[in-house]
Amino acid sequence: MSSAAEDRQIRASARNAWALSAPALFLLLIGACGPLLIVVVYSFLTKGATGGVKWEFSTDAWVSLLYTRDIFDDTLKLADAHLTIFWRSLKISILTTLITFAVGFPTAWFIATRPAKARAFWLFLITIPFWTNLLIRTFAITEVIRAEGLMNTALMGLGLISEPIRMMNTDTAVLIGMAYVYLPLMVLPLFAAIDRFDMRLLEAGYDLYASRMQVLRRVILPIVKPGIIAGSILVFVPSLGAYVTPRILGGGKNMMIGNFIELQFGQGRNWPLGASLSVALLLLVMVALLFYVRVAGKGSNPHG
Amino acid sequence: MADKSFEVSRLPGFGAIAVVVFLVLYVPIFTLVIYSFNAGTTITHWQGWSVKWYYDAWANVAIKEAAVRSLVLASAAAVISTSVATMAALATTRRRAFKGQSVIFVAINQPLMVPEIVTAVALLIFFGVLKSWTGYQGMGYLILAHSAFCIPFAYLPIRARLEGMDLSLETAAADLYATPWQTFRRVTLPLLGPGIAAGAMLAFVISLDDVVITEFVKTAGQETLPTYMLGQLRREMTPEVNAISTGLLAVTVLLLIAFSLVNRKKS
């Protein structure tokens, strides 16, 4: 039961809220969200001869995402080069997520089970790389894995290998680099989930004669699942759109979607294709995020 | 009791993996820092300690200009994004839910969800059109782009701080005939201070670190430190790049320490 005066107050409060948010929304509209719509428009235009676009409607950019047109008989064939890049992006992103989880989970568990003071210290050690420039961290890992780098010097010094392992400009190098730079994104949400975990449940498990493996699989993992999903999304989504790390470690050949998009706006001179690739990447990320919202929503049921 | 739960929470091998992970995280960073002090001209062969690369970087006009541009840009982006984020946080916390509130949330968090390369391409196109229409080529585009993507980073700590504050002090001020502006200026803003400081620091660091969006938005000659470093990759790398990296790293670490001190005071 609300009186007219109360109604007026609620409306005034909402108006006030919108007015306060307006500057932020305006900045975001012209500096972030709005231009995304232009990309959608560009993906349906014809490419200009020297970059840019001609304002003629065309679905060529979308067709050429997956198909190439045969120059002789005009038939459509699957574009192998594009599929290879999509597949590499997906493969590297999934592997990055798996690797960061495999090493990030024990790390997060280790941090969360330290005494309070030490915990703050270990957590700080994870936070520093988290906030450190991605470019710097990519440089750092490059100096370790390159042919004349620390890893080869150390391995050859120990006599384990006689020839340096040449890893730069391969998918393996990109994968190692991505796992290295995105690891903190996995550890932090995992830590947050484990930190809330009630350790008495472990006692209960062991009292009921569960083995360590059983406790891990049946008690710990199901309860910290929201943290696992959050960490996986935080790693998977930026991996899919990665640009800097594959550019430095993959060289020109081992492109991921992000580098392929840039190529279209540079030497490729195919802006519509670049735009359709961007929209496709955005849609992929949205699917991943929706999946996250659905699973995370379910995970918050009391039954977990 | 505490001792016992510590025993129970031990999982074999996890500690060892964690220690290796920390080593793997830090060995490359320390290598990078140490080689910035290399007397030699390569980043591969150690030839003794020297700070000559710091002198060289300092004397390099291109680097100095890029550094100043980075700092100006990050400061502008931090001030603008923190101001608008503070207003937005005041609008979206501690009040009755209103229609369209979720739209504001989604809009604010949008830069966190969209891949950077996509935003970069979108801004390349949009600002390209603006540049040819208006003829203006200045820093405004970079400041606008950076301010926009820093908003969520500034917003989150401010909002967290606001949610922890109850309304009773502000109500008390209003009861004592303070005008809404006085209440805000004398009560809300001082209480909100640590949140705003934290938000501004995060925005500053995020802006300082950005490569991808800057690379696409900048007009020729508007190099920032990260885009300058990315450009150096095509040439033979010297420890100069390590010296710049170390400098940036030092700024980040100092800000983080300041950030955690501000947060500790709060609790």
pLDDT of residue B195: 87
pTM for the predicted model, two decimal places: 0.87
ipTM of the complex: 0.86
Q: Does B256 sit within 8 Å of A180, measured CB to CB? A: no
User: What pLDDT shows up at residue A246?
Assistant: 92
| Residue B35 domain flag | no
**Is the pLDDT at A86 greater than 80, yes or no?**
yes
Residues of A within 8 A of B98 (CB-CB) are 10, 13-14, 17
The reported pLDDT for the residue numbered A37 is 92
Say how far apart CA B265 and CA B114 lie, in whole Å: 34
Q: Both tokens of residue A251?
A: 């060289």
Q: Is the pLDDT of residue A49 over 80?
A: no
Nearest C-alpha of chain A: how many angstroms from B214?
12
Considering CB atoms only, which of A103, A104, A128 is closest to B256? Answer: A128
Domain of residue A108 covers 81-299
Tens digit of pLDDT per residue, chain B (267 long)?
444 444 667 777 888 899 999 999 999 999 889 888 888 777 777 778 888 888 888 888 889 999 999 999 999 999 999 999 999 998 888 777 777 888 888 888 888 889 999 999 999 999 998 988 988 888 999 999 999 999 999 998 898 888 888 788 888 888 888 888 888 888 888 888 888 988 998 899 899 989 999 999 998 888 999 999 888 877 767 788 889 999 989 988 888 888 777 766 554
Question: Both tokens of residue A109?
Answer: 């568990």
Q: What span, in angstroms and rounded, lies between the C-alpha atoms of B34 and B49?
A: 9
B33 lies in a domain?
A: no
CA distances from A174 to A99, A246, B175 (A): 13, 5, 62
In a domain, B139, yes or no: yes
Nearest-CA neighbor of B66 among B195, B240, B194?
B240
Q: Is residue A162 part of a domain?
A: yes
Report the candidate in B194, B228, B196, B232 with the shortest Cα–Cα distance to residue B214.
B228
Instruction: Give contacts of B 163-192 with A, CB under 8 A.
Output: none
Indicate the number of domains in chain A.
1
Indicate whether B195 belongs to any domain.
yes
Burial class (CB in 10 A: 0-12, 13-18, 19+), A160: exposed
- End-to-end CA gap in chain A: 38
CA distance B25 to B28: 7
Q: Write out the residue range of the structural domain in which residue B82 sits.
A: 60-266
pLDDT digits (tens, 9 = 90+) for A216-233: 888 888 888 888 988 888
Does A58 reside within a domain? no
For residue A303, pLDDT over 70 is answered with: no
Which residue, chain included where needed, has tokens 């505490």? B2
Reduce the DSSP state of residue A67 to 3 states and report it: strand
Q: Pick the closest to residue A273 from A16, A18, A123, A69 (CA basis).
A: A69
For residue A302, the model assigns a pLDDT of: 40
How many C-beta atoms lie closer than 10 Å to residue B142's C-beta?
Answer: 25
Is B25–A21 a contact, with Cβ atoms under 8 angstroms apart?
no
- Which residue from B82, B105, B109, B75 is spatially nearest to B189, judged by alpha carbons? B82
Q: DSSP readout, A239-275?
A: HHT--HHHHHHHTTTS--HHHHHHHHHTTT--HHHHH
Domain containing residue A104: CATH number = 1.10.3720.10
Residue B18 tokens read as 């964690």
Assess B115–A contact: CB distance below 8 Å, yes or no. yes
Please report residues of B whose CB lies closer than 8 A to that of A32: 110-111, 114, 119, 145, 148-149
Report the CATH number at residue B110.
1.10.3720.10
- Residue B224 contacts residue B70 (beta carbons within 8 Å): yes
Chain A residues with CB-CB distance to B108 below 8 A: 24, 28
Domain count, chain B: 1
Asked, for residue B211, whether it belongs to a domain, the answer is yes
Q: How far is A142 from chain B (nearest CA, A)?
A: 8
Say which amino acid occupies B218: K
Residue of B nearest to A109 (CA): B14
Tokens of B87: 């207003």
Please indicate, yes or no, if residue A61 is contained in any of the structural domains. Answer: no
3-class SS string, chain B:
CHHHHHHHCCCCCHHHHHHHHHHHHHHHHHHHHHHCCECCCCCCCCCCECCHHHHHHHHCHHHHHHHHHHHHHHHHHHHHHHHHHHHHHHHHCCCCCCCCHHHHHHHHHHHHHCCHHHHHHHHHHHHHHHHHHHCCCCCHHHHHHHHHHHHHHHHHHHHHHHHCCCCHHHHHHHHCCCCHHHHHHHHHHHHHHHHHHHHHHHHHHHHHHCCHHHHHHCCCCCCCHHHHHHHHCCCCCCHHHHHHHHHHHHHHHHHHHHHHHHHHHHC
SS3 labels along A162-215: CCCCCCCCCHHHHHHHHHHHHHHHHHHHHHHHHHCCCCHHHHHHHHCCCCHHHH
Q: Residue B167: inside a domain, yes or no?
A: yes
The nearest CA of chain B is from the CA of A225 a distance in Å of: 17
> What pLDDT, on a 0 to 100 scale, did the predictor assign at position B3?
46
Which residues of B, range 26-45, sit inside 8 Å of A by Cβ? 26-29, 31-32, 35, 43-44
**B127 is a domain residue:** yes
For the cut 50, the answer to whether the pLDDT of residue A301 exceeds it is: no
When scoring A10, A36, A156, A247 by the number of chain B Cβ atoms within 10 A, the one with the most, hence best to mutate, is: A36
- For residue range B15-49, list pLDDT tens digits in order: 889 999 999 999 999 988 988 888 877 777 777 88
A291: which chain B residues are within 8 Å (Cβ-Cβ)? none
What is the spatial distance between Cα A271 and Cα A45, in angstroms, rounded to a whole number?
Answer: 9
Residue B206 within any structural domain of the chain:
yes
**Contact at CB, A248 and B233, closer than 8 angstroms:** yes
Distance CA A127, CA A198 (A): 24
Q: What are phi and psi of A35, to 5 degrees?
A: -60, -20
CB pairs under 8 A between A and B: 256
